[in-house]
Structure 1
């Protein structure tokens, strides 16, 4: 019987190169620990191959860290530190590694050229972005934090990484209502069903796998449909929704092309003709 190869989404290996921890598991010409780097753009797609026409598997957010395994032809082959996802992104999206001190808590905000809302917006930031803060300023009563790149962000839109997180991940997910649906998206600019679960839970200090099949396989414990309550997850083949209460779900979906609130029974009837009945229910 042929041994199953490790999941390529979470394990970096090619015939010419593999991550060091896979030595003895997969065959490659050489192995590497990779080099640390962090995302230097607001959001970057992570793709299954070095091709801008390839689909998006997931996204990395500003300040998130990776291990770069290879660089070639303008592409970096990298593994995300937060969830272990592997893929390709433009080499220009990466900068030197640096320790983050704060995380963005607003669904969307801006880094400004200066500590003043009247200065030009330098770039947008999504919830979950990691910031290295080096100073503080106040302008007309509004407090700003200074990034290590010189830009400023509104202090009320961030929290220190060592501060308590919002324990209610469902309330975090609800803040994304009407955010556009984006296959592979994982930000306040566009998000998919499992990205919503992962990002909302991360903001509550609860790590979760990236894709819905990974979440269905090992996130929390199975529960019965009759026992569903706030915070439980409902899975269909290729889809996941969050229970807002015992009768209502929150989910990023291709029907409304947004993060939407919907009755569970209505969703089951609507989704059933194409994707059949739910495949399971879990309590994180």
Structure 2
């Protein structure tokens, strides 16, 4: 049988996605049940335990397929990027309404009604999708109202289907955001999460991890000596890391050195990273 990446295909020895029947070995095959993430951010873990490592995160409104629910954990696959893992089953709901809008700022507040003076009911990250059913205005501020009666600042949303013109400009809005291993949100993000979310907002759904991005995004690039051939939007990869060029000399990346999304000169980064992890492993132009 063909080898499959378990990060992107739902299979275990005892259970597997019915779509993989004949391609993987498992005791039982099931069809995934559609569900939707209802938490602001849902950690997707390697195993169904609260102390298991976080591989990635799902955002409010993300659609998933559920293959198993047991002892408080759901084994799911994200429909947007195919990632497989475990989330708390309390973070799942139905798909009663189709999303109409997406959060287009790094972070925003959810209010119990259309008034910014109300105590907040929650917070959402860029990339979260919601269903807007009404509009309201209070003291000159415009709100998008959800079916629950909760409200968001209308200017923090845009219609699904509209895309940002420049994914690098989206990434730059995250400057100063804390670094978080496995993070994919405006509350905390890692290097490949930053690339994925910024590109998604610019209309391109890409794979999650840096090795997947290094193998699939755009075309390989040889920047030449001193990296003179690089330009804004090009990607620089190290083993387990990715950065986005903001111009010919400077990059932006979520990194464990500053523990923030920050700018850094490429040559400075190459020198700093090299003694621990070696030089860049590749360059790609989306």
TM-score past 0.5 threshold: yes
Task: Tell me the equivalent position of 1:177.
Answer: 175
Task: Tell me the equivalent position of 2:140.
Answer: 141
After superposition, give the CA deviation of every residue in 1:244-273 in whole Å (9 maximum; x if it has no partner): 000000000000000000000000000000
Provide the C-alpha distance between the structure 2 equivalents of 1:280 and 1:148, rounded to a whole number of angstroms: 47
> Structure 1 stretches (4+) deviating beyond 6 angstroms?
none
Q: Are 1:54 and 2:56 matched, yes or no?
A: no
Task: Tell me the equivalent position of 1:109.
Answer: 108
Deviates more, 1:24-33 or 1:189-198: 24-33
Q: CA deviation at 1:148?
A: 2.3
SS in 2 for 1:26: coil
Provide the C-alpha distance between the structure 1 equivalents of 2:46 and 2:147, rounded to a whole number of angstroms: 31
How many pairs does the alignment contain? Answer: 281
Q: What pairs up with 1:28-107 in 2 under 5 angstroms? A: 28-97=26-95, 98-107=97-106
Unaligned ranges ≥5, structure 1: none
Provide the C-alpha distance between the structure 2 equivalents of 1:263 and 1:190, rounded to a whole number of angstroms: 22
Q: CA deviation at 1:4?
A: 5.7
* Kept in 1: contact 2:2–2:24 (CA 8 A): no
Task: Tell me the equivalent position of 1:272.
Answer: 274
SS in 2 for 1:271: helix
Q: CA deviation at 1:168?
A: 0.1
Task: Tell me the equivalent position of 1:282.
Answer: 284
Q: CA RMSD in A?
A: 0.9
Provide the C-alpha distance between the structure 2 equivalents of 1:174 and 1:123, rounded to a whole number of angstroms: 24
Q: CA deviation at 1:17?
A: 1.3
Provide the C-alpha distance between the structure 2 equivalents of 1:148 and 1:88, rounded to a whole number of angstroms: 28
After superposition, give the CA deviation of every residue in 1:38-70 in whole Å (9 maximum; x if it has no partner): 111100110111011011100000011101111
Provide the C-alpha distance between the structure 2 equivalents of 1:167 and 1:29, rounded to a whole number of angstroms: 47
* Kept in 1: contact 2:2–2:23 (CA 8 A): no
Provide the C-alpha distance between the structure 2 equivalents of 1:214 and 1:199, rounded to a whole number of angstroms: 15
Provide the C-alpha distance between the structure 2 equivalents of 1:81 and 1:215, rounded to a whole number of angstroms: 17
* Kept in 1: contact 2:64–2:79 (CA 8 A): yes
Q: CA deviation at 1:72?
A: 0.4
Q: CA deviation at 1:28?
A: 1.4
Task: Tell me the equivalent position of 1:165.
Answer: 163
SS in 1 for 2:121: strand
Q: CA deviation at 1:135?
A: 1.0
Task: Tell me the equivalent position of 1:122.
Answer: 121
Provide the C-alpha distance between the structure 1 equivalents of 2:33 and 2:135, rounded to a whole number of angstroms: 31
Normalised TM-score (structure 2): 0.96
Task: Tell me the equivalent position of 2:20.
Answer: 22
Normalised TM-score (structure 1): 0.97
Match of 1:253 among 237, 242, 255: 255
